[in-house]
A and B are shown apart, each in its own frame.
Chain A
């Protein structure tokens, strides 16, 4: 608009800074909008200019990445034992949640999970033995994410554990996730002991074969479709999975009955799924993982394909920066704590479940889940605001996952690290909180903000590559 044209058009003002200036504009008839401005994030000098200069290239790469993410078709295609299917899984390998970490830096719940895993594998008979082995250097620790897998909380995967296989049919890649153990004393919160081992063994010997057979009967289950329906039924598939679990149950129950000769086993399996609202979490997570993994290694892209935490560090990977990890200390969630627990009991943020937010679900879709708004302030409007604010940092909107309360607008999808850094606005993650002591379990839940550190580092790294 030329200067002369400005003189003949109604003035409409974007106000950046002193808010009273906006009020004066409005009082004098000029529609105005206030920018919720923040001082910029501390990044390397020159990074912003480089990324601004390469904008066209980045946008092009991001369009490609978004097309891959939005077009992904994750399906549950089968079950198998980890050692048979997870790439690079050896007898000494233990996979864990989050970015890479050594035994000495692992938090309580993760150590507990590792030790419980070693006992479950028969590599140790007591916890003391397990601890000795775990710290001996003999065990190879690796992030789930580096093995096409994801795991909630501690995210421990050992070679004998059954895993679900999710295939992104459109792009041909696969992701893996263990079966959800339910609540109480469970390995993913670092619990160990007879009860934990017994359940894991039951999952291996009863749950796994029954589900495997049932799935062979049903054929692949379209998870994208299931998640889309779950969103319309009040899930955001991270902290609330009740609808998703119910839908899965409906899909699989007839096949369980049809394929399982032992009626007791069939009842036990169906009751197990029915009794665990979070059973579907271990499907929504690998569905996102399979979708996002297909978008890796697109040169120049500023879109995140991983956000995850190991209880010590928070890690991020971008589509445009290969296998490089960007990390910073994980923060203790400022969440809603269960009666009897406080923030002092909480472990820093842990789990691969932030893959759901990376895929445009979880906290990004919290507006779809009014039943859990007490985690975000108590009012439905609060949940809407969280979801709406995430459109500020995403590159696109899902074509499949929709928010009914936003007139079926697609969920904010594809976190653009440039927007995160330049707007100084971090992703929100809808998470459960683990007790810092191994095995106590979940002590709270709520919305946590990702730390800015990993995004600032990723931003600089992308600038370095594109320089």
Chain B
């Protein structure tokens, strides 16, 4: 094997762009591995672990881009490096001659000068730089959506206090999803405008409720993400409360839907106090708290019922009927297969809230439920990489994402795990979430189909496809492709979890 690399001093690209280039290189003939990263300490240690840290990279710093290729010979390596240079220089190339000569603004102040009506900054730079940019955005009078994670809690509190004082909103840090005035921000779905306003301290939770609302024929006025830490007492729910208040006064919002893991006591108290003052109907889902609504699906259906002036009790009764149908379906699915293997369910989730909701749904359906992000009665997995008995795994947790793109974008790791789990004779069902919308992988079927085809020969594969018909991935085509490959597809995560749990229980009963 031939390892070759290049240093590009003073080049900078965002991590998603670099990941795309890296993946394209890895797919070239003769190339075993390729990495295109900024030479941060973290990235250098990752390169070192895979023996890709060339000696000359050691002196490089945050400002330098490094390209490294491991290929079968020098020719393949050289070609891959040339390809990388070409792709990056094409990205770099300014507008074509005759086009606008104006250079891109170099900071937020210049950007505001170029777009004087700007009212929101969407920040997704690496965490250690993100607070600095957020501060600049607030200084320039912009609301902030802070997609970046790894921002200190001190910075988060300082930013939110500053924003609150100025009447501005800070969504995040670690805020994956918002929809403001119908515009999907970061990881968000295309949903119609409508009467339901959402405050979400969980990104995928917000995605799921907005999708269900859209799929049920209603719409969303605003979906305001706050970042998961906002509802902790250390932050005090500053953004959560500000967003609730704003929706309470928003003429476009008729129903308010709150989605969060249970807030800490101090925040919960403040939320309850504010709820008493709000005259609009409010549906609150504190996932894992118990009580109703218990799932994202229930919460979304309740909100839609309120919005349509329908009877909320009927909406939930509808779910009971749906679940009865799923029981029949599970039996039929299992009956169609001769000698199904194993007894356990393994859920591999790219969305953290989907993993949490899975535990709520599966509670009582399967026994000995484990997770790397346990909720309720679930047990904590000793090793996140080694599922035990019935397990649901959140692949967005740190142990999986260091040095990798988010599992909603990069399927490589999960695909590998799907095949491993299918080879485990104890496994009966593999449960997946497939998240659509902006930010997520734009062609999920292409990557999942071959893997599901293989896995479905041994185990049952159940997939929840979470999206809307407006999403850029073309939901109908994705669903069709996954079904063709052998997956049993549901259009909500809760339904997928239910079906998977029922199948696992049925197989376990047969193989007892």
Contact = CB atoms under 8 A, between A and B. Distances in A.
- Same complex: yes
B125 A13 contact: no
Contacts of A389: 103, 106
Given A3-B242, A385-B94, A14 B111 contact: yes
Contacts of A4: 246, 249-250
Contact of A35 (B102, B106, B245, B250): B106
B118 A33 contact: yes
A31 B117 contact: yes
B221 interface: yes
Contacts of B63: 38-39, 424
Contacts of A388: 101-103
Contacts of A385: 94, 101-103
A56 interface: no
A29 B102 contact: no
Given A14-B108, A29-B183, A36-B105, A21 B117 contact: no
A47 interface: no
A148 B108 CA distance: 39
Interface string B234-268: 00000000110110011110000000000000000
Contacts of B167: 1-3
A44 interface: no
Interface string B181-206: 11111101010000000000000000
Interface string B15-56: 111000000000000000000001000000000000000000
Contact of B14 (A7, A19, A42): A19
A28 B252 contact: no
Contact of B112 (A14, A37, A40): A14
Nearest to A406: B101
B101 A16 contact: no
B147 A35 contact: no
A16 B122 contact: yes
B107 interface: yes
Contacts of B99: 381
Contacts of A9: 117, 119, 181
B147 A33 contact: no
Instruction: Name the interface size band of chain A.
Output: 35 or more
Given A13-B122, A389-B103, A422-B107, A31 B115 contact: yes
A384 interface: yes
Interface in A75-103: none
B12 A39 contact: yes
Given A7-B250, A14-B120, A21-B439, A36 B103 contact: yes
Nearest to B107: A423
Task: Count chain B CB atoms within 10 A of each CB in A8, A14, A24 and give the residue with the most.
Answer: A14
B106 A36 contact: yes
B147 A39 contact: no
B253 to A, nearest CB: 8
Contacts of A24: 184-185, 188, 438-439
Nearest to B105: A35
Given A13-B122, A17-B14, A30 B183 contact: yes
B122 A14 contact: yes
A14 B137 contact: yes
A18 B181 contact: no
B106 A34 contact: no
A9 B242 CA distance: 18
Contacts of B402: none
A132 to B, nearest CB: 40
Contacts of A12: 115, 117-120
A20 B123 CA distance: 12
A459 to B, nearest CB: 15
B106 A13 contact: no
A35 B472 CA distance: 25
Nearest to A7: B250
Interface string B273-305: 000000000000000000000000000000000
B105 A28 contact: no
A25 B183 contact: yes
Contacts of B243: 3
Contacts of B309: none
A2 B247 CA distance: 12
Contact of B122 (A7, A15, A38, A422): A15
A10 interface: yes
Contacts of B61: 42
Given A6-B169, A16-B123, A17-B148, A381 B101 contact: yes
A246 B250 CA distance: 68
Contacts of B148: 17
Interface string B86-110: 0000000011011101111111101
Nearest to B181: A11
A372 B190 CA distance: 50
Contacts of A32: 115
Interface string B150-186: 0000000000000000011100000000001111111
Interface string B211-229: 0000000000110000000
A261 B387 CA distance: 102
Contacts of B180: 6-7, 11
Contacts of B94: 381, 385
A425 interface: yes
Nearest to B128: A39
A265 interface: no
A21 B104 contact: no
Nearest to B102: A388
Contacts of B183: 11, 13, 25, 28-30
Given A6-B143, A11-B180, A40-B129, A21 B102 contact: no
B147 A28 contact: no
Task: Count chain B CB atoms within 10 A of each CB in A17, A384, A388 and give the residue with the most.
Answer: A17
Contacts of B367: none
Given A35-B108, A384-B101, A388-B101, A7 B114 contact: no
B132 interface: yes
Nearest to A39: B62
A20 B98 CA distance: 25
A7 B221 contact: yes
A379 interface: yes
A36 B182 CA distance: 26
Nearest to B437: A24
Task: Count chain A CB atoms within 10 A of each CB in B12, B110, B147 and give the residue with the most.
Answer: B110
A392 interface: yes
B137 A34 contact: no
Interface string A407-439: 000000000000000111100000000000000
Given A13-B118, A17-B125, A25-B185, A3 B133 contact: no
A13 B121 contact: yes
B104 A36 contact: yes
Contacts of B122: 13-17, 21-22, 25
B105 A18 contact: no
23 contacts: A1-B143, A4-B246, A7-B181, A7-B252, A10-B181, A11-B180, A13-B120, A13-B185, A15-B121, A18-B147, A20-B16, A22-B122, A27-B472, A34-B104, A35-B108, A38-B63, A39-B38, A39-B129, A379-B97, A381-B94, A381-B101, A392-B103, A424-B106
The 6 tightest CB contacts between A and B, nearest first, are A17-B124, A36-B104, A3-B246, A384-B101, A24-B438, A423-B106
Interface of B: 12, 14-17, 38, 61-63, 94-95, 97-99, 101-108, 110-112, 114-115, 117-126, 129, 132-133, 137, 141-143, 147-148, 167-169, 180-186, 188, 190, 221-222, 242-243, 245-246, 249-252, 438-439, 472
Given A17-B122, A32-B115, 12 more contacts: A7-B246, A7-B250, A11-B119, A11-B183, A15-B122, A16-B121, A16-B124, A24-B184, A33-B118, A35-B108, A385-B103, A423-B107
Interface of A: 1-4, 6-22, 24-25, 27-40, 42, 48, 379, 381, 384-385, 388-389, 392, 422-425
